[in-house]
Structure 1
Amino acid sequence: MATPAGLYARLAGFRRTLVGDAVRFLDRQVLHLSTESSPSSTSSAKKQRDTLGRRMLSLVYPKRSAVIALRQWIEEGRTARKYELNRIVRELRKHKRFKHALEICEWMTLQQDIKLLPGDYAVHLDLIAKVRGLTSAHKFFEDLPQKMKEKSTYTSLLHVYVQSKLSTKAEALMEKMLELGIAKNPLPYNHILNMYIANGKLDKVPLVMQQLKKNTVPDLFTYNLMLSACAISKDVKGAEKVLLELNERMGNGDWVTYSTLSNIYINAGLVEKTRNALKEMELRISCQERSAYCSLMTLYASVSSKDDVCRIWRNMKLTFRKMSDFEYSCMLSSLTKLDDIEGAESICAEWESVSPTNDARIPNILLGAYVRKSMLEKAESFHEHMLQHGIKPSYTTWELLALASLKKMDTDKALDALQKAISSVTKWTPNEEIIQLVFENVETLGDIEGVEKFLVILRGSGYVTTAVYNSLLRTYAKAGKMPLLIIERMKKDNVKIEEETKKLLKMTSKLPVGKVSSTIL
C-alpha cells in the first residue's frame, strides 16, 4: 500500500511525464527560432516568446550550463530578477532538473544586488544534497552565516537526514530545533513522522504528535501520515478518529486522505465503507492530479468494481490528450486483477499502437496474467509477439517465462529463461519462489542433469547454500544415483554439512554413480 508520501511522489512522476513533451517542444522551438530567417515580424515574435524560464527548460541535458545561459541573457541587455529566478528554480526542482536549479542558486549567491533570505539557502542546501551528496550539504549548512541558520535551513537539513535514512542525526537535529524554539510549524514534525512510519517505528509516533500539538497545529500532510500509520497497523478505529479530527480542524481531507482510508477499509474487508470512501476520493480529484485517477482505478479493482474501473478510464481519455505508459500499466493491472483477460488484451493492443517506448513492463503485466492463469501456450505466443513488436525482454519477462516452463515441467527451458534473466541484471537478487519450484521439478523428475545445470547457474550468481546441496542430493536419491565428488564440491563452495545433508550423503553413497555431461560439472 502506498503511503501519502509515496502517492505525492507518484504525482510528481506524472508531472514529469507531462513536462517531458513540453520541454522537447520548447527545445525544437528554440532551435527553429535560432535558424530561422529574421524579418522584423519574426524577430518581434521571437522576442515575445523568448523568456529566461523557456531558455532554462530548453537546456534539458545536465551537461549544459544554466550559468552560461544566464550570462548570455544578461549580455543581451535583459534583467534576471530574484522572484523570477526563484520561480525557475521551483519549476526545475519540480521536474527533477536539480543540477541546473543548483547552478542558478549558486549564481544568485554571487550577485551583490540579490538579497538572499534563509528560505533561499534552505532550497540551496536541499539541491546540494541531491546533486553533491550529504557531506557537501552538511558543510554548506555549517558554513552558513549564523543569522541564516534558522527554522527553514534547519528543516531543510532535517529533510536531508531523513531522506538519507540517518535516524540518529535526524532525531538529534530535531531535539536541537526544539531546544532553540524554532520547531513552530508542522513541517519538521512531518519529516520525523515520515521517517518513523517508513521505518516501522509506530510506537514513536504518539510522542511526535504530542510535541507537534504542543508547539503548533497539524496540517493536512500530518493527518495523511497519521492515516498511513493506521493503515500499517490495520487500525480502523484509529483511522476514523484521525479523520474525525481532520474534519473538525480543517473541514476536509484531500484525495490522498480518502485513498489511504479506502486501503484501510479494503484490508479490513469493509466493502460498503470502502465504496463510500472512494466516492469521497473521486469528488476531490482534479485534472491537475493525474496520479489520483490511477490510484482510484486500482482501488475500484480491489473491490471488484469493473464498471467503475472502465468509467474512470473513459473519463481519463476524455480529459487528457494522451495516456502515459504508467496509466496504461494501471489499467492493465486493474483488468488482470479483475480476471478480464480479453479487456486487458485490448488495452495492451491499444498501448502498442500509440506508445513509442516499447517498455517491456507494460506487456509483462498481461504476460504475468497468462502465466498465473496457466494459459501457457498463450504466454509463449504473446512473448513471440512482443519480440516481433521490437520489445526487448526484461528481467521480469524472462522470470515469467521461467515460471511458465516450470508449470509445464520443462526444466531445460526454465533454466534457459532463468539464465537469461540473471544475465540481464548487474546483481541478481535470488527469487526464492522460482528456486523452490526448480528444485521441486528436478526432485520430482529425478533430473540429475537439470539439478547440476541449476547448481552451475546458482554458483555463478554467488548463491550456493546447504539447502541447495540438499535438494541436489534428494534429486540424485530420487534418480537412484550417487553424485560425483559431492563432498569435495561442497567444501569448495564453503557449504556447511548439516544433519539432513549427512543422511542424504549416506543414502546416496550406496547408489551407483550418476553420469552427467562433463560440460556441466
Structure 2
Amino acid sequence: MWAIRRASSSFKKQVFMTGRSRIWYATSKISSDGLKGASNVISHRPLTFGGFRITSRGFLRMFMESQSFSSQAGTKSSGEEDSDSDVRFSELESSTATEEMQKANKVDESVSEQELSEEDLDGEAPQELELSDTESEVSKRNSSGKRVSSALYNAIVAAPALSVCKILDKWVEGNDVTRAEVAEAMLNLRKRRMYGRALQLSEWLESKKQLPFTDRDYASRVDLIAKVRGLKKAEDYIGMIPKSFRGEVIYRTLLANCVAESDMKKSEQIFNKMKDLEFPLTCFTCNQLLLLYKRTDKKKIADVLLLMEKENVKPSLFTYKTLIDAKGQVNDISGMEQIVETMKAEGIEPDINTQSILAKHYVSGGLNEKAENVLKEMEGGDIKENRWACRSLLPLYAALGRADEVSRIWQVCESNPWLGECVAAVEAWGQLHNIKEAEAVFDKMARKWPTISSKHYSVLLRIYANHKMLSKGKDLVKRMADSGCRVGPLTWDALVRLYVEAGEVEKADSILHKAAEQNRLRPMINSYLVIMEQYARRGDVHNTEKILHRMRQAGYVSRISQYQCLIRAYVNAKAPCYGIAERMKSDNVFPNKGLTNMLAQVDAFKKSPVSDLLD
C-alpha cells in the first residue's frame, strides 16, 4: 500500500539571497536521525521536520526517487500553479455521502434537469464536507431516481433573499418540520450554492429549537458561516458550540474551508489545534493538507505522506487524485504514472475524474497519443452506454485540437442534451475557435432551459473575451440582464476579461470595484489578478499596489502569484521596492528561483561597480 512513497523527491535546503535579505526555506532533510521529528508532526509549529529515516518500503519512498517536487516545484509561474486545474480539481474532498450526491445529480440531470437551472448551478456536485445521516439517506434515495419533493425548499427559494426567516415562521404554521424535510431542503440549497439561504435556515432551526442539533448540524453551520461570512466568523462560532459537540468533525470542517482559501498559516494552526485536542488523525484531514500543499508548497507533500505512513492512515481515491495532479503540475509524467500503478495495485481503479486529470496532463506535456488512449478508455466500448463520460471528453478532445472527435461526441448528445454536456460543448468549440458552433450550442441550451443561470452565460462570455469580441460580449450581457439572470462573481470575471482583452483595463477595474462594493459576494481572485497583471505590465506601481490592497480587503490570502505580479510592476517601472522581502515574510510567502532573481532587480540597496567607487 505504501509503495507510493517511492515517487517522492529528496529535499534540499535552499537559501535565497535578495540584496541584504536572506530568506531560508523550512525544508525536510533526509538523515539518519530516525523518525524523531515525525512524532511531533502536528505540533505547535508548522509542518517542518528536522530529519527522519526513510525505510526501503512504503508510501513516501516512491516520491523519494523522483526529483520533481524539489527541483521543479515553483518552476512554473504562479499563474500556472494557480490555474484552473485547481478549479476543475475538487477543492474539498468528497465524503462517501457526497459521492452519493454526485450520483443524485446525475439522475436529476437526466430526469428533471429544468430544476437545476433555477439558480447558480454549474452541473457539478457541490464539494461539501459532511452530510448528516438523514441527508445521506435522502441523497441515496435521489440517486435511485426517487426524488423527494421538498415544500420547505420551494418556500425558501420563493422568499426574498433577506426574508427567509419570516417565510419560515409562516410556513411552519401549517407544516411539520421533520429532519428528512430539512435534509432535502439543505441538500438542494447546497447543490445550487445558495449558501446564504442555507445559513438562514440553519440559524432559524436552532433559534426556534425546531430540531435537536447534532455535531454534524453544528459542522454544517461552521461550513456555511465560513462560506458566507468568512473564516474568522466561523472560528468565532466554534467557541459558541456546546463543548460536548465540539469534536473532530467541527474542526476538520474549518480546516477544509481554510484549505479552500489556500490559507496555509491558518490551515496549519487548525491542524495543530486538532492534535492538541487529541483528535484521531483521519484520511480526510491528511487529504486536506495534501490539497493545500499541492497548491502552495509541493515540497511539504512528502511530510504529510510520511505522517500518514507513521500513523497507518490508508490513502483514499482522493489521496491518489491529489498526488497525480501534483505530479502532473510539475510535468513529472513518470511519477504520475507510478502513482496510478500503485493505486491500481491497491485495488483502486481510476474513475472518470482521475482519467480526466491524467489526460489533461498528458496534453499539457505534449503526449497526445497517451492522452488519446486515456480518452478511449473513458469512452469504454460504447460511448452511448457510457454517456456520463461525454461531458469530460468534449473539452479534452478540444484541448487536443480534435474538432472531428468533438463533433462525434456532441452528436451522441445533440438530440437530447443534458445541461452539463451543453456547457462542455460550448467550452470545447470555444477552445477550437469555432465561435459559430459555440453560439449554436448555447442557443440550443437557452431554448431548452429558458431559465439558465448567469454561470452558463459566462461560458460564452469568456469565449468572446478570449477572442476580443467586445461588441458581441456587450450584447450577451444585455441579453443576460433582459432574461433576469442574477449576476455573480463568474459573470464579473468574464466581464473583466472581456474589457481587459479589448485593452480597456480601467473599465475592467471600474466594473470589478463597483461589483465588490454593491454586492455581498466577493469577486474571484483571478479577476483581481487579470487586472493586476495588466497594470504590472505597464509598470504602473500605484495601481498594482491598489489591486493588491483590494484583494486583501476582500479577504484573499497573499500568495506568491500576487508578489510576482507586484515585483514585475516595480521591475518594469525601473523603481526600487523598499521592504518587499519583509512584506513577503510577514505574509508567509517564500520566493522560488525566478522570483528571487526579480527581487534582486528591485533591491533598493544593491550595489554596482560605480556605487562601490563612490563609497
SS of alignment partner, residue 361 of structure 2: helix
Q: CA deviation at 1:93?
A: 1.7
Q: CA deviation at 1:226?
A: 0.9
1:6-405 pair list within 5 angstroms: 6-8=88-90, 19=115, 21-22=117-118, 51-59=151-159, 61-65=160-164, 67-76=165-174, 78-112=175-209, 114-199=211-296, 201-213=297-309, 214-283=311-380, 293-320=390-417, 326-327=423-424, 329-336=426-433, 343-349=434-440, 351=442, 355=446, 362=460, 365=463, 368=466, 394-401=495-502
How many pairs were matched up? 397
Letter of the 1:75 partner, please give it: E
Deviation per CA, 1:379-431, whole angstroms, max 9, x where unpaired?
xxx766777786799554455455xxxxxxxxxxxxxx677666655484353
What's the TM-score once normalised by structure 2's chain length? 0.54
Unaligned runs of 5+ in 2: 1-82, 93-100, 121-147, 481-493, 514-527, 549-565, 576-603, 605-615
Letter of the 1:134 partner, please give it: L
Contact 2:538 2:572 in 1 (8 A): no
384-393 vs 219-228, which moves further: 384-393
Q: Partners in 1 of 2:346 and 2:161 — Cα distance?
A: 44
- Seen in structure 2, the aligned counterparts of structure 1 residues 292 and 126 have a Cα distance that, compared at 3 Å, is farther
Letter of the 1:110 partner, please give it: S
SS of alignment partner, residue 439 of structure 2: helix
Q: Partners in 2 of 1:320 and 1:346 — Cα distance?
A: 15
Letter of the 2:239 partner, please give it: E
Deviation per CA, 1:177-227, whole angstroms, max 9, x where unpaired?
24544244321112111111111x111112212323424322221111111
1:451-470 pair list within 5 angstroms: none
Letter of the 1:144 partner, please give it: I
Contact 1:122 1:152 in 2 (8 A): yes
Contact 2:425 2:441 in 1 (8 A): no
Q: Partners in 2 of 1:22 and 1:361 — Cα distance?
A: 17
Q: CA deviation at 1:328?
A: 5.0
Contact 2:223 2:253 in 1 (8 A): yes
- Seen in structure 2, the aligned counterparts of structure 1 residues 245 and 2 have a Cα distance that, compared at 3 Å, is farther
- Seen in structure 2, the aligned counterparts of structure 1 residues 91 and 388 have a Cα distance that, compared at 3 Å, is closer
Deviation per CA, 1:108-145, whole angstroms, max 9, x where unpaired?
32355632221111111111122222222111112222
- Seen in structure 2, the aligned counterparts of structure 1 residues 149 and 20 have a Cα distance that, compared at 3 Å, is same
Deviation per CA, 1:354-400, whole angstroms, max 9, x where unpaired?
6487958626636855x7xxxxxxxxxx7667777867995544554
Contact 2:343 2:349 in 1 (8 A): yes
306-315 vs 160-169, which moves further: 160-169
SS of alignment partner, residue 240 of structure 1: helix
| Map of 1:488 onto structure 2 | none
Q: CA deviation at 1:309?
A: 1.2
Q: Partners in 2 of 1:195 and 1:284 — Cα distance?
A: 37
Q: Partners in 1 of 2:86 and 2:474 — Cα distance?
A: 38
| Map of 1:36 onto structure 2 | none
Q: Partners in 2 of 1:235 and 1:69 — Cα distance?
A: 55
- Seen in structure 2, the aligned counterparts of structure 1 residues 58 and 296 have a Cα distance that, compared at 3 Å, is same
Q: CA deviation at 1:274?
A: 1.3
Q: Partners in 1 of 2:401 and 2:275 — Cα distance?
A: 48
Q: CA deviation at 1:261?
A: 0.9
Q: Partners in 2 of 1:93 and 1:388 — Cα distance?
A: 31
Deviation per CA, 1:242-299, whole angstroms, max 9, x where unpaired?
2122223343122110111112222333233211211233349999x99964542222
Q: Partners in 2 of 1:181 and 1:75 — Cα distance?
A: 45
- Seen in structure 2, the aligned counterparts of structure 1 residues 155 and 387 have a Cα distance that, compared at 3 Å, is closer
Q: Partners in 1 of 2:396 and 2:115 — Cα distance?
A: 27
Q: CA deviation at 1:312?
A: 1.9
SS of alignment partner, residue 75 of structure 1: coil
Letter of the 1:57 partner, please give it: V
- Seen in structure 2, the aligned counterparts of structure 1 residues 282 and 2 have a Cα distance that, compared at 3 Å, is farther
Q: Partners in 1 of 2:316 and 2:373 — Cα distance?
A: 24
Q: CA deviation at 1:73?
A: 2.5
Q: CA deviation at 1:88?
A: 1.6
Contact 2:259 2:267 in 1 (8 A): yes
- Seen in structure 2, the aligned counterparts of structure 1 residues 54 and 420 have a Cα distance that, compared at 3 Å, is closer
SS of alignment partner, residue 315 of structure 2: coil
Unaligned runs of 5+ in 1: 25-47, 337-342, 372-381, 403-416, 437-453, 471-495, 497-521
- Seen in structure 2, the aligned counterparts of structure 1 residues 236 and 284 have a Cα distance that, compared at 3 Å, is farther
Which of the pair is proportionally richer in helix?
1
SS of alignment partner, residue 161 of structure 2: coil
Letter of the 1:264 partner, please give it: H
Q: CA deviation at 1:303?
A: 2.6
Q: Partners in 1 of 2:381 and 2:209 — Cα distance?
A: 46
Which of structures 1 and 2 has the bigger CA Rg? 1
- Seen in structure 2, the aligned counterparts of structure 1 residues 419 and 160 have a Cα distance that, compared at 3 Å, is closer
